Structure 1
Amino acid sequence: MQAKKANFFKRYSEARTAWLFMAPGLILLALFTFWPIIYSIPLAFTNYSVIGETKFVGFDNFTRAFSDIDFIASIKNSLLYMIIVPFIQIISILMAILVNRNIAGIKFFRAAYYIPVVTSMVAVSIIWGWLMSQNGVLNYLLMSTGVLSEKISWLSDKDTALWALMFITLWKGLGYYMMIYLAGLQSVPTDCIEAARIDGASTFQIITKITVPLLKPYVFFCTLISLMSAIRVFDEVFVLTSGGPGNATLTSSVYIYQQGFEQFEFGYSSALGLIISLIIMLMSIFIFVFNKKGGVNPY
């Protein structure tokens, strides 16, 4: 009986200590994440005004959203942004395989590939904005090598602006997913790879038949995270183009920000946020269903 009491108090003490350590982070999440999400739900059914009277408008904000040309354009751009997802996953896996070697200086390359991840997106956007300007380094290099015959305003041309932003997002995110895949590669049993080499398997066959299948749980996680990030992309768009030229780079997050903090239509902005959240939830459910059917298996 005394032993049971001692174990109970020990577990209680450990749990209390753990909760105390987590408390600051949980309080910040509650104040700046969970509470805004909860508060935005009833707000979406009002015409909330900071100065005037707030009135309940039912589903008017949602009806307005589906007839809002700018919002429809922002959803299309956000969905188009998902094109980078397969590229970022494939390149990240190849980078992880490349740095998963015991050679001199490999830690330097791992750190170098990860530097863009810890660099502020605002700083990255400003640098790339300078590189991609009409008189920037990119145009100079492409014209010097004969690839271009005239300068291109990469971020001011409606035909290239969104693709330029997608490239910046791709470049910055590679290191993050590379580290996740690298962690997965560390758990891949080396005897399987060695046995395959003894049997005469090529490097390509080892990657496609052994490495990638064993990384499927990591591919599932990274794909889900990158899809959500692509739909919610904000920083680089806001800093470099603010959705322009026209609506060429207008994404859902930027449009929601504009409606809420520039037009002060917080009720309508909340309704738009709920619609985007629903889209993300449906996509997540689809990925989980695909996983359940065997597209991804735990190892």
Structure 2
Amino acid sequence: MNHIRKIWRSDGAIAWTFMAPGLLLLALFVFWPIIYSVPLAFTDYSVIAETNYIGFDNFTRAWKDNDFHISLLNSLTYVLIVPFIQLFSILLAILVNSAVPGVKWFRTAYYIPVVTSMVAVAIIWNWLLSPNGVVNFLLVSAGILPEKIAWLSNQKTALGTVMFVTMWKGLGYYMMIYLAGLQSVPKEMSEAAMIDGANRMQVIRHITIPLLRPYVLFCTMISLMSAIRVFDEVFVLSGGTGGPGTATLTSSLYIYDRGFKQFEFGYASALGLIVSIIIAVLSVVIFRFNQKGGVNSY
């Protein structure tokens, strides 16, 4: 009995007790749907009709589905913003980690987009990026653009514009993670390097960023998965269509369309499984590339 009490009062038991509600929610709404979707991908699941096992037919169809290829290419193109998000987030974290007047205000200002509703963000950016919006006015007035551009209605600029909005909205989130990492970096190492003649950029490149490698690994993997699975920004800014045409059609939006608009749940599950495998492969590559680094490595 005393042994059971000791276990119950241990730090591990207390930690599991606090995590239990969150783990239960994850099990019900994340893990179980993932597990259930795997066998579903091999069927022609129907809500009202009979469900039949069809083997790899859904995957064969995906191989020939041009719209899925376009959506997958757009999602992989979205990955291009990952390095920029990480770089700018690190620079912002270094900036707000300095003891300058008003630094708390800057931290709050940079984090506001993270907690702002995507609907509100879409309304703001739709207004800013409209043909008669502020962005066009400033760029045309400065002579950068010869004429106004419909940023979200032009097939050449729509995807890049949505990617920019995603980067703008996510910078504050990753900045806070890197800011936490900077708190663990010994200042003595940077000070010693500067005494030896290193400038600020050399310190950031050769000391700060290598010491932040574990945080870079975590943030890169999270942003990579978010980029490939991007849905909210594209859905709201394109009106749920992935337009104009298929310019902003991402894999998540296409899977949503197949599953919840066309009710092809088996095919949607197969597409989701393909995307998950791609994310897993890219995550393994990034993990292998960023294994070394951090304070404990030095």
What TM-score do you get using the length of structure 1 for normalisation?
A: 0.93
Aligned position for 1:26? 23
Q: Which amino acid in 2 is paired with 1:254?
A: L
The alignment partner of 2:111 has SS state of helix
Shift of 1:127: 1.4
The alignment partner of 1:66 has SS state of helix
Q: In the alignment, is residue 149 of structure 1 matched against residue 146 of structure 2? A: yes
Q: Does 135-144 or 95-104 show the bigger shift?
A: 135-144
Shift of 1:17: 4.7
Shift of 1:32: 1.0
Q: In the alignment, is residue 252 of structure 1 matched against residue 251 of structure 2? A: yes
Q: Which residues in structure 2 correspond to 1:117-196 (within 5 Å)?
A: 117-196=114-193
Shift of 1:18: 4.0
Aligned position for 2:68? 71
Aligned position for 2:272? 273
Q: Note the alpha carbon deviations across 1:241-272, whole angstroms, 9 max, x for none.
A: 13111111110000000000111100000000
Aligned position for 2:53? 56
Runs of 4 or more off by more than 6 Å in structure 1? none
Shift of 1:146: 2.2
Q: Distance in 2 between matches of 1:39 and 1:215?
A: 38
Q: Which amino acid in 2 is paired with 1:28?
A: L
Q: Does 64-73 or 282-291 show the bigger shift?
A: 282-291
Shift of 1:156: 0.6
Q: Distance in 1 between matches of 2:270 and 2:252?
A: 12
> How many residues of Structure 1 are paired with residues of Structure 2 in the alignment?
293
- Are the equivalent residues in 1 in contact too, given 2:44–2:53 (CA < 8 A)? yes
The 1:136–1:221 alpha-carbon spacing in structure 2 relative to 1, beyond 3 Å, is same
Shift of 1:34: 1.1
What TM-score do you get using the length of structure 2 for normalisation?
A: 0.94
Q: Distance in 1 between matches of 2:45 and 2:129?
A: 40
Q: Which amino acid in 1 is paired with 2:280?
A: M
Q: Note the alpha carbon deviations across 1:188-222, whole angstroms, 9 max, x for none.
A: 11111111121121111111111111111111111
Shift of 1:8: 4.8
Q: Distance in 2 between matches of 1:96 and 1:289?
A: 25
Q: Distance in 2 between matches of 1:81 and 1:17?
A: 41
- Are the equivalent residues in 1 in contact too, given 2:212–2:294 (CA < 8 A)? no
Pick aligned residue for 2:6 from 4, 10, 23? 10
- Are the equivalent residues in 2 in contact too, given 1:291–1:297 (CA < 8 A)? no
Aligned position for 1:243? 242
Q: Distance in 2 between matches of 1:255 and 1:248?
A: 12
Shift of 1:184: 1.0
Shift of 1:102: 1.5
Q: Distance in 2 between matches of 1:273 and 1:298?
A: 38
Q: Note the alpha carbon deviations across 1:61-94, whole angstroms, 9 max, x for none.
A: 0000010000000110001111101111111111
- Are the equivalent residues in 2 in contact too, given 1:44–1:270 (CA < 8 A)? yes
Pick aligned residue for 1:96 from 65, 69, 93? 93
The alignment partner of 1:93 has SS state of helix
Q: Note the alpha carbon deviations across 1:150-187, whole angstroms, 9 max, x for none.
A: 21110010000000000000101111111111111111
Q: Distance in 2 between matches of 1:263 and 1:8?
A: 54
Shift of 1:298: 6.3
Q: Which amino acid in 1 is paired with 2:53?
A: F
Q: Distance in 2 between matches of 1:63 and 1:171?
A: 38
Pick aligned residue for 1:44 from 14, 34, 41? 41
The alignment partner of 1:135 has SS state of coil
Q: Does 232-241 or 142-151 show the bigger shift?
A: 142-151
The alignment partner of 2:28 has SS state of helix
Shift of 1:149: 2.4
Q: Does 25-34 or 55-64 show the bigger shift?
A: 25-34
What's the Cα RMSD here?
1.6
Q: Distance in 2 between matches of 1:51 and 1:126?
A: 38
